[in-house]
Structure 1
Amino acid sequence: MEAESIPSLSPLIQSADQWGEVLLLLPLLVALEAVLSADNAIALAAISRGLKDPAQQSRALNLGLALALAFRLVLIAAASWVLDFWPLQLAAAAYLLWLCGSNLLPLFNEEDGEEASTLGSDGHPAHHHHPHHHRSLGAVVATLAFTDLAFSVDSVAAAVAVSDNLLLVMAGGVIGVVALRLTSALFIRWLAVFRRLETAGYLAVGLVGVRLLLRLAAPQLVPPEWGLLLIVAALFAWGFSERRPEPTPGEISP
């Protein structure tokens, strides 16, 4: 007689199976969220860095990601609808491509000679106008939330492919947002140190936008997850490859 055929043991066996799935898949979902959110984290860090006050940067990340968490849970709950609703995927792709282009153009227009000769007190070019500077706290919070929402349209598909357990996927999403908050804070500091990192991050953002478009227009051309991760890893290796020049005392503005 098999154990599953004993009525009194069936609930215990089912419970063990459920806990086994949690122990096996939850770390996988968290790792997947962490890896796929690297480009998301740098975008959120660059957006929040537009607020000069570090306290406001932290507050914007807390509020923006709290709102983003609510959006993520709604997306996961409606995953089957989201994956079939092409206008939402198209809007997310268009937003990510706009975010990429609108931030890369100012970065590409900077000249290295000017950047090296006009460093401000934070190690950034004094003449550079960040696209998100001079925005209110509320505007930055809204931008953070909608940016994460656009990324979540892509990541939800990957998470649902790993498990169809709704609560498990939601738990992975919650832990992923917590990890995103921590890594975004790290990237705020790293953006002030590594000159190419912001460019690498927004190139990765554009890559996710292109991936969403391909999923709609030509699914057979969508690169596998490992291929996307290799490209993002190469971009980030390039982004961390060059530090900003250290400002001399004469170049530091009061």
Structure 2
Amino acid sequence: MDSASLRSLTPLLDGIDRWVELAPLLPVIVSLELVLSADNAVALASITKNLNNINLQRKALNIGIFIALLLRILVILTAQFFLNFWPVKLIGGIYLISLSISKFLSLNNNGSNQNLIENSEQSNISLFKVILLLSVTDLAFSIDSITAAVAISDQFLLVITGAIIGVIALRFTSGLFIKWLEIYINLEKAGYIAVGLIGLKLIIQLVLFKLVIPEYLFFLVMLFLFIWGFSKKNSSISNV
């Protein structure tokens, strides 16, 4: 092979070498997405279960997650601007905190079972609202997970690949959590405490930008929350 042919292959070989170097980071980014999406899955499942029709729940999750994926890719591609634009973290943090508080208020008022849809006309209206809530909620969560992923690697294609795998996993875990929310009575509360903590984390990072919260400490808090969430079963279901 002559030198001209070798020179023409250099960019390809450099690209292969770069991917060989970056490939070990993909499992790390995917694992990070999965860990950070546990509370996201609870929130999405809780929103979706307001539809009392299983087919509508699946439809809402499929459409909502697809829109969420497109929004995540957009955020990743504009990460340099988007994640450094302080109003984004402020709005995301306030939204997650308000979502957590409003859900606890509704749980205390036993309102979680009063939102079931009775007819097809209401279902269509609620389906649109649920899809919108799913998309906005996942976008708010993605601020935290994408910030962590971009900190690991600045290669957009790698981060996007991790996000795609994470969102696909989120679709299936959300479906599981819809069932688990009926079985484990503390799970919804644990999930929404986690939602509020993530919102608080975004606000703290914005106000006290020099304060670094260790990720391992945050993961430990999430772990204990979900251990508590899965600690108690609904007796009426467990005895069936």
How far apart, CA to CA, are the structure 2 residues paired with 1:130 and 1:101? 17
Tell me the alpha carbon deviations over residues 85-104 of structure 1, each in whole angstroms, 9 at most, x when there is no partner.
11111111110001000001
Alignment root-mean-square deviation, CA: 2.2
Q: TM-score, normalised by structure 2?
A: 0.88
How far apart, CA to CA, are the structure 1 residues paired with 2:10 and 2:237? 68
How far apart, CA to CA, are the structure 2 residues paired with 1:190 and 1:248? 12
Higher helix share: 2
**Counterpart in 2 of 1:114?**
none
Decide which moves more: 57-66 or 18-27.
18-27
Aligned-pair distance for 1:10? 4.2
> Are 2:35 and 1:35 equivalent residues in the alignment?
yes
How far apart, CA to CA, are the structure 2 residues paired with 1:197 and 1:166? 34
Aligned-pair distance for 1:133? 4.1
Aligned-pair distance for 1:247? 5.6
Q: TM-score, normalised by structure 1?
A: 0.84
Q: Provide structure 1 residue ranges, at least 5 long, that are not aligned to the other structure.
A: 1-5, 111-127
Question: What amino acid sits opposite 1:98 in the alignment?
Answer: S
Decide which moves more: 16-25 or 31-40.
16-25
Aligned-pair distance for 1:186? 0.7
Aligned-pair distance for 1:14? 1.6
> Are 2:215 and 1:225 equivalent residues in the alignment?
yes
**Counterpart in 1 of 2:127?**
137
Q: Report the CA distance shift for 1:79/1:238 in structure 2 as closer, same or farther (over 3 A).
A: same
Provide the aligned length of Structure 1 versus Structure 2.
228
- Indicate conservation of the 8 Å contact 1:41/1:180, yes or no: yes
- Indicate conservation of the 8 Å contact 1:195/1:239, yes or no: yes
- Indicate conservation of the 8 Å contact 1:214/1:222, yes or no: no
Q: Report the CA distance shift for 1:131/1:79 in structure 2 as closer, same or farther (over 3 A).
A: farther
Q: Report the CA distance shift for 1:144/1:248 in structure 2 as closer, same or farther (over 3 A).
A: closer
Q: Report the CA distance shift for 1:131/1:149 in structure 2 as closer, same or farther (over 3 A).
A: farther
Aligned-pair distance for 1:21? 3.1
Question: What amino acid sits opposite 2:37 in the alignment?
Answer: S
Aligned-pair distance for 1:199? 0.1
- Indicate conservation of the 8 Å contact 2:183/2:238, yes or no: no
**Counterpart in 2 of 1:162?**
152
Report percent identity of matched pairs: 46
The equivalences for 1:169-184 within 5 A come to 169-184=159-174
